[in-house]
Amino acid sequence: MAEKKFGHEEHMKKADNLGILSGVSRPLKIVFLGAGSGFFKPVFTDIMNIPGAENGTIALVDVDRKRLELSVELGGKIIAAMKRPGWKVIGTTERKEVLEGADYLINCIEVSGTSCVRFDNDIPASYGVDQCIGDTMGAGGLFKALRTVPVFLEVLKDVSRLCPNAWVLNYTNPMSIMCLAAMRAYPKLHVVGLCHSVQGTSHQLADYAQIPYSELIWNCGGVNHLAWFTRLEHKGRDVYEILREKLASDKELLAKDPVRFDMMKYMGYFVTESSGHFSEYLPYYRKRPELIRKHCGAKYLGESSFYANNWPQWRIDSDAKKHDFVSGKEPIDTSRSWEYASFLIEAMETNAPFVAHLTVPNTGLIPNLFADNVVEVPCLVNRKGIFPTYFGKLPGQCAAICASNQSFFNLAADACIEKSKLQAERALMLDPLTAAVCAPEEIRAMTRKLFAAEKAFLKGYK
């Protein structure tokens, strides 16, 4: 189970011994936006795994009624399988019906569904901009933000009126732009960004170095999907030395994570996002076909158009999996995942301290990154809330790469808030990969074609 990997049980025992563990003393109200999301099943199950959380309501919201009803059925099955009769699950297509009095809001919305996937990929590709995933940076990430952020800000407007003290836990990409726009538009609300790239990558590094995870000592910070492991140690030894030795003797290791290991070679540190996604945040690896062939692999290792070619089917498969759980064709796995949401809720409700790497405003936490932007750093969580910790300066080369992405986030967030086509095209001109491939006039033309193609989901942009 994931909490064992985290050492969460040990945290709980220590907290109990210190007399600070008080249990969940109230019925909880949790609102899950985007109940059709692939995050629904693991996060719902995780919440049912919170020790001492014996009763509450989870309100599911989705604009797609069929997918909503399926998730409500699945939620009921999970509650029954885990013998949590004090919990109930309800569903609605109207979020305002359930927001009042919410303690936590988990945001997993997907605006436009699969309708714009091909536009996000194929129009940039016609200008030579090759994407693997394309939902965080570049044209794909920008236009996902332009579609999604305005809806998220409407949600936050409702939160500010109906449940202003709720913690908004955002899973939706593009994470940094979503959280930055929220910070600027609604600075008094409690909004944080949750991802699993730090958990996943720290375990990958232990596996690559063949070190027990519990013995790996590490520090990690930067921006979401672009956070750097500035410390990697095992029993006093620099794990980067171990990784370099293994890369020299094992040629297959490089093929497991080609872009991240190549950047480690030249920048000195390993980063948190998969090679394929990471390659999109840089000007180096995707600007010519021969570079893609040399440095990128299949699927998440950098395959061209991987997300666009597969996401529609993944969505169908996800729904089919839920049907199998509901029908009993497939048994429901009730173990706890390493997704952060339930651990944050548990820490705040039981006062058992927990540390999570979250996207938060950069209030001097990483001094050599932009102060009016967001960063991903370790945060202490307890009954009093979520408290970002001071990380310190990143190595100069790592900070510069993060800053190049932050410049893009900065204008993209403003474009979403102001609904400005001009700011959108300027943001895309600052995207490292797009700028490496295209001239400004091409970027302007690309942006205008994307606005025209996706106009049904981009109301109000001028």
Q: Give 317-372 pLDDT, tens digit per residue.
A: 999 999 999 999 999 999 999 999 999 999 999 999 999 999 999 999 999 999 99
Give the tokens for residue 400.
């510069």
Q: Note if the bond before 174 is cis, omega within 30 degrees.
A: yes
Beta carbons of 167 and 344 less than 8 angstroms apart = yes
The amino acid at residue 347 is A
Contact 223, 376 (CB under 8 A): yes
Classify residue 60 as left (phi > 0), alpha (psi -120 to 50) or beta: beta
Distances (CA, A) of 26 to 2, 54, 109, 279: 25, 9, 28, 46
Residues 6+ apart with CB under 8 A from 180: 373, 374, 409, 410, 413
Residue 413: both structure tokens together: 């967030």
Class of the 2-115+143-195+311-352 domain? alpha beta
| pLDDT the model gives residue 5 | 39
pTM of the model as a whole:
0.94
In the numeric block, which tokens belong to residue 156?
A: 């936050």
What confidence score (pLDDT) does residue 25 get? Answer: 72
Q: Which residues of the chain have pLDDT under 50?
A: 1-20
pLDDT of residue 24: 79
8 classed as catalytic: no
Question: Which pLDDT value is given to residue 19?
Answer: 41
Instruction: Spot the catalytic one: 8, 11, 190, 196.
Output: 196
